[in-house]
């Protein structure tokens, strides 16, 4: 009798542990709670929506108010106005992605996260899904608001929803660019583990590196290859996709996917091999 009782007692902790272990769904929920309970998250996303919609409307009004003699020189496609704040939204996305993980390192919460879920790859994947989905959803909302406001502004020159090349494809590529830069910032955060450092690296790659590489255009054809490399940086690749630059679309698509993949793989490798 005593052996049976002891056996049952010993079995209870194992059953309890199995029942209440952290599933991936719960891990996703916990990452979402951590992100959305921060005031900074709502402030940054709210300001982004307001600024992006404002820029799109201003661009639309400016385009429609041009004199007739300049109309042939300025594209009237309203999608151009919708994606015009892409530089701003990419900047916010990169910073947002970096802060999604570096905030945990600065507060020490990453230790609790790893203790609750020792599978570090699962932690990285959950943060990737939550951060990427948040910025993509924000961009979708921003685009919808901008479209509603721009439709009466453009009037008869409105959105060509039956033409995928003019409308759906540029809008889709803008979402891809936002997701790419968000995950690039997240990967940089996992690698560097410092907010200022990760943000500096992300912003530098997005906006400083293209400027530096463009300087080599003044040094002649022997340095042309350096200038060509700039086209594969994240911001330039995103511009190529959104603007539909013919044969350059495929290399730009590969580049916009390769940058976040490389950053996240580097973050995953370091997360597995060093202490939290």
SS (H, E, C) the chain: CHHHHHHHHHHHHHHHHHHCCCCHHHHHHHHHHHHHCCHHHHHHHHHHHHHHHHHHHHHHHHHHCCCHHHHHHCCCCHHHHHHCCHHHHHHHHHHHHHHHHHHHHHHCHHHHHHHHCCCHHHHHHHHHHHHHHHHHHHHHHHHHHHHHHHHHHHHHHCCCCCCCCCCHHHHHHHHHHHHHHHHHHHHHHHHHCCHHHHHHHHHHHHHHHHHHHHHHHHHCHHHHHHHHHHHHCHHHHHHHHHHCCHHHHHHHHHHHHHHHHHHHHHHHHHHHHCCC
Three-state secondary structure call for residue 37? coil
The answer to whether the Cα torsion of 133, 235, 258, 275 is positive or negative is negative
Q: What is the pTM of this model?
A: 0.86
Kindly give the confidence (pLDDT) of every residue in the chain, 276 residues in length, as a single tens digit, with 9 standing for 90 and above: 444 544 444 444 444 444 556 788 889 999 999 999 988 889 889 988 999 999 999 998 888 776 665 556 655 788 999 999 998 899 999 999 999 999 899 888 889 888 888 889 999 999 999 999 999 999 999 999 999 999 998 887 788 888 888 899 999 999 999 999 999 999 999 999 999 999 999 999 999 998 898 888 888 888 888 888 888 999 999 988 998 766 788 999 999 999 999 999 999 999 988 876
């Amino acid at each position: 009798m005593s052996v049976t009782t002891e056996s049952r007692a010993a079995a209870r902790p194992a059953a309890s542990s199995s029942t209440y272990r952290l599933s991936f769904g719960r891990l996703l929920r916990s990452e979402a709670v951590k992100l959305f309970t921060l005031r900074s998250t709502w402030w940054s996303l709210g300001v982004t929506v307001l600024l992006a919609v404002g820029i799109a409307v201003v661009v639309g009004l400016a385009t429609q108010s041009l004199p007739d003699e300049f109309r042939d020189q300025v594209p009237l496609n309203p999608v151009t106005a919708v994606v015009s704040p892409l530089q701003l939204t990419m900047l916010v996305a990169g910073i947002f992605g970096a802060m999604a993980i570096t905030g945990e390192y600065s507060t020490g919460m990453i230790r609790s996260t790893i203790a609750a879920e020792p599978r570090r790859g699962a932690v990285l994947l959950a943060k990737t899904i939550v951060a990427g989905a948040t910025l993509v959803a924000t961009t979708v909302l921003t685009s919808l608001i901008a479209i509603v406001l721009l439709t009466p502004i453009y009037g008869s020159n409105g959105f060509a929803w039956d033409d995928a090349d003019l409308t759906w494809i540029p809008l889709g590529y803008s979402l891809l660019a936002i997701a790419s830069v968000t995950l690039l910032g997240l990967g940089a955060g996992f690698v560097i583990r410092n907010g200022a450092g990760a943000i500096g690296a992300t912003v530098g790659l997005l906006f400083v590196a293209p400027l530096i590489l463009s300087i080599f255009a003044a040094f002649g054809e022997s340095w042309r290859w350096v200038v060509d490399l700039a086209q594969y940086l994240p911001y330039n690749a995103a511009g190529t996709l959104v603007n539909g630059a013919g044969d350059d679309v495929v290399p730009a698509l590969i580049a916009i996917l390769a940058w976040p993949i490389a950053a996240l793989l580097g973050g995953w490798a370091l997360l597995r091999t060093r202490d939290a």
